[in-house]
Structure formats: C-alpha cells, structure tokens
Amino acid sequence: MESLRTHYSIDVTSKEYGKTISVAGWVEDIRNIGSIAFIILRDRKGTLQITILKKEDIKIFEELVNISRESVISVEGLCKKSDKARNGYEVIPHKVNILSTAETPLPLGVVDKIESELETRLDNRFIDLRKQEIQAIFKIRNEIIAAVHEYLKKENFIEVHTPNIIASSSEGGTDVFKLKYFEKEAFLAQSPQLYKQMLMSTGLDRVYEIAWYFRAEEHNTRRHLNESTAVDLEMAFIKDEEDVMKILENLVFSMWKRACDCKEELDVLKQKIEVPKLPFKRVKYDEVIDKLNNNDCDLKWGADLGSEEEKLLGKIMKKEGHEFYFITKYPIEAKPFYTMPQESKYSRGFDLECKGVEIASGSQRIHDVELLTDRIKACNLNPNDFKSYLKAFRFGMPPHGGFGFGIERFLMNLLDIRNIRECILFPRDRTRLTP
C-alpha cells in the first residue's frame, strides 16, 4: 500500500484551496443525483465532502457511487472552496484508492436516525465507536485523564503500576475473581490498596495510578461494572483524612475544568457543564442519617447507604445547593479493615458523592501494625493471609491516607450519561464477556 500524507478533514485551511491534497477515511454517506455525486468522508476529526461529476471521470464516478457505506478509501484531489459544502470546501477527486470494502448490510448504523438498543450497540461496539457522539465521550475521557496526570505531578505525586494478580483479597470479602496461578490460588485485584500502602513505607511518599478494579459482585445495574478503572492514590505524612480530601476535591475541580474546555465534544453531546465551587461540603454520617430519616427513610445507624438512599440524599443536597459533597465520620464497622478508627465507633473514612452517586471513597489509613492486625481479625479475616502486607508496617510506616476514584462514574455524572457501560470502551458486567 502506498504511503499517504493525509489531512484530517476539518484541519484543511483556506491556504490549501486550489491545491491538491490527500484525504482518507470511512464513507459515511453517498448521494448520487445522476450527473453528480457527493461522498461524505469521515475521520477522527470530522467529515468532508467529495464531489464528483460523472462527465469529468466516469470511472471514478462509478467506483465511488457503488462502494458500500463504511468502506475505507483514500482520495487525492483538488481542494476547492464551496459555500454549499458543509465545511466551506470540497475535494474534486482525480485518484481514488479503495483500502477496505465494508460488507452489507451493516450490523449497526452509524448516522441512521433510528436509535439502536444498548445491547445491540455493545455487541457491535467497533461500529458504535464510529459515531461522533460516542467518540466525543472518549475524547473527553482522554482529556480528564490528562488533567489527572498534570494536577498530581504538580502536587509531587509519581505514577506507579501495581500487580493485578494477587495472593489475597485487597479489601476482604467474597466479591473477588479467583484464578489458578500454577499450583496456587490467586485473585484479580479489587484495587491496588495493599500495594499503595506498602509503598508508603519506601519513601515514595506520594503515589498514584490509573488502576483496574475487578469485582465479582453479581449486580446488573446501570452504574456498576465488574471491570472498571479508577484514579488510585496514596500519600504519607498526613495529619488526618482532611489532607487527603483536599487533594481529591482539587483533583475533581481540575478534571471538571478540563472537561469544560472540550467545547466541540460538549456541543456534539448537547451538554453544558459548569466548574464546581470549592471547597466541597462536608456532611457527617450522623447528619446524613438524620436528613434521610427526616425524608421518609428508615435507616438504622451503622447501615451503609444503598443506591436509593444515595439518590434521595443527592436530591436533598441539591436543594441545599450542593452537587458535590463529602460524607465523613462513617461508623468504623462500615469501612474496610485498613481504615483508621476515630474514638470508639467512628472512622476517618469518607465518600465523595456527586448528584447522589458515590464517585470516590477514601480514608486515613491505619499505620500501626498492632492496630491493623486487630482490625483484620475484627473483620473476620486471617492475618496470615496478609503477611507480606503487614511486614511493610513493622519497619517504619508513616501516617498516610488515600482514595480510589472511579473514572467511569465520574464521566457518567459529568456528562449526564444514563448507563455506565457507555463510559468504558468494552464493558464487562454480569453477562457480558465479549467483545
């Protein structure tokens, strides 16, 4: 195949009018009027119009009007100003190369106005991702992750990568994927939690990673995945959980602000977003229980919040002028074993909620090995399963804390997307293992 110098379609400027250019992409639409035909060519940046007169070159004319939609072609031709064309210019072809012919019929339309079921779209995700509005989601995702790296590096965090195959459950419980690891039993990591904490004993006192979570929960809701991504962070030499919360709220602010700059993508999605104000509201768990029970809930102290309670709380907090808010001072029994207790029954754990959905969870961690061992036992776990983890606490461990912050949940709330499966390229849920 010949090497091509191609223009992204919307990157053509008036300087190239009257010049020969090369373009390449997918055939989105074909309009054959008889003596003239218009081909809409699409690439990652947008679309352009190829215009061909039958009398000028019948061979190219027949070649283009008979090709199937979503075929891939390259075109070399004259770039000509045109007030009638959608971009203000058109390309008059004098050379066409068919790079790949699409089979017909298509399993899913790209520009068809008929809405397809989500399951059909996910079954044919490679075509679904050709749609302008779907690509816009992932272009914004790319930008907010770039903002993560920029903000955290500015705050002196370094990026790390920890194992996804581990010897014991990251957070306890049974919601883990087990696998055979040669002659041993292993698990897919629920989070990088144990490794992040171990790193706090090394002198790498501020670390983060874009992590994968694997959780074997048998739910099938619009906001749960069995494989998801998150910003996972740990920091040492903290005073308490408030130090961690400040990093988290400023991170969210930076990501949200970066998304606001994605004007073209937001226009495609017909979304308008505003940067949230800092600091985010802090609401103690006890206050949350009172707010909910004053609004026809019957939630006992110590219970975790379910999706319905979170949704109701989101409505209450919105009336008070808060879309983002921290829930703090959780009961220690509702939090994982590594969470620092406060007094007898509370913890230094927190959740960050956005519009009634939990998007992050964190805490000050226990750094004393004896207390940590006691908490492991209190959670009905065996300290022997955590030997290598506990060893890191025996030889100098500073006070530390951190959080896990779900990327898909953040994107879902940022763009008012109804189903979390739209926020990851190839979702994995209770029933979906392909594509």
3-state secondary structure 367-391: CCHHHHHHHHHHCCCCHHHHHHHHH
Q: Are residues 137 and 81 in the same domain?
A: no
Average pLDDT (426-430) is 96
Mean pLDDT of all residues in 280-286: 97
Tokens for 113? Answer: 């106005």
> Which tokens go with 25?
């992409």
Residue 284 lies in a domain: yes
In this predicted structure, the answer to whether residue 424 has a pLDDT above a threshold of 90 is yes
As given in the structure block, the two tokens for residue 275 are 């940067």
pLDDT at 305 over 60: yes
Tell whether 119 is covered by a domain.
Answer: no
Whether 143 and 61 map to the same domain: the answer is: no
pLDDT of 264 > 80? The answer is yes
Query: What percent of the chain lies above the pLDDT cut of 90?
Result: 86
Say whether both 148 and 95 belong to one domain. Answer: no
Same domain, 207 and 280: yes
Average pLDDT over residues 388-415: 97
306: Cβ contacts below 8 Å, ≥ 6 apart: none
Q: Output the six-digit token pair for 369.
A: 């090995």
In terms of domains, do 204 and 70 share one? no
Instruction: Assess whether 44 and 189 both reside in one domain.
Output: no
For residue 349, the domain's CATH number is 3.30.930.10
Could you say which of 65, 100, 135 is where a domain stops?
100
Quick check: 245 pLDDT over 80? yes
Percent of the chain having pLDDT more than 70? 97
Report the candidate in 56, 50, 2, 1 with the shortest Cα–Cα distance to residue 25.
Answer: 50
Is residue 435 in some structural domain?
Answer: no
pLDDT at 1 over 70: no
pLDDT band at 147 (very low <50, low <70, confident <90, very high): very high
Overall average pLDDT of the 367-396 stretch: 95
Q: 63 with 199, same domain?
A: no
In which band, very low, low, confident or very high, does the pLDDT at 10 lie, cut at 50, 70 and 90? low
The pLDDT confidence band at residue 169, using thresholds 50, 70 and 90, is: confident
* Residue with more model confidence, 9 or 237: 237
Note the pLDDT of residue 170.
64
* pLDDT confidence of residue 410: 97
Residues 76 and 141 in one domain: no
Catalytic residues: 215, 217, 223-224, 358, 361, 409
Q: Residue 63 belongs to what domain range?
A: 9-100
Is residue 190, in this structure, part of any structural domain at all?
yes
Tell me which of 55, 83, 100 is where a domain ends. Answer: 100
pLDDT mean over 126-144:
97
**20: in domain:** yes
* Count of Cβ atoms closer than 10 Å to residue 389 Cβ: 21
Whether residues 47 and 81 fall in one domain: yes
Q: Does the pLDDT at position 193 exceed 70?
A: yes
141 & 85 share domain: no
Total number of domains in the chain: 2
- pLDDT reading at 256 higher than 60: yes
Domain boundary among 85, 100, 115: 100
Flag whether pLDDT at 297 surpasses 60.
yes
For residues 135 and 68, membership in a common domain is answered with no
* 400 phi-psi bin (left φ>0, alpha ψ -120 to 50, beta other): beta
pLDDT tens per residue, range 63-119: 999 999 999 999 999 999 998 888 899 999 999 999 999 999 999 999 987 889 999
Residue 430 lies in a domain: no
Q: What digits encode the pLDDT tens for the residues 313-363?
A: 999 999 999 999 999 999 999 999 999 999 889 999 999 999 999 999 999
Both 361 and 317 in one domain: the answer is yes
Find the mean pLDDT for residues 161-176: 82
Q: Specify if 2 maps to a domain.
A: no
Specify the CATH number for the domain of residue 78. 2.40.50.140
pLDDT band at 291 (very low <50, low <70, confident <90, very high): very high
Does residue 268 form part of some domain? yes
Across 184-219, b (16+ Cβ under 10 Å) vs e yields eebbbbbbbbbbbbbbbbeeebbbbbebebbbeeee
Residue-averaged pLDDT of the chain: 93
Q: Are 360 and 248 in contact (CB under 8 A)?
A: yes
Instruction: Tell me the C-alpha distance between 193 and 169, whole Å.
Output: 10
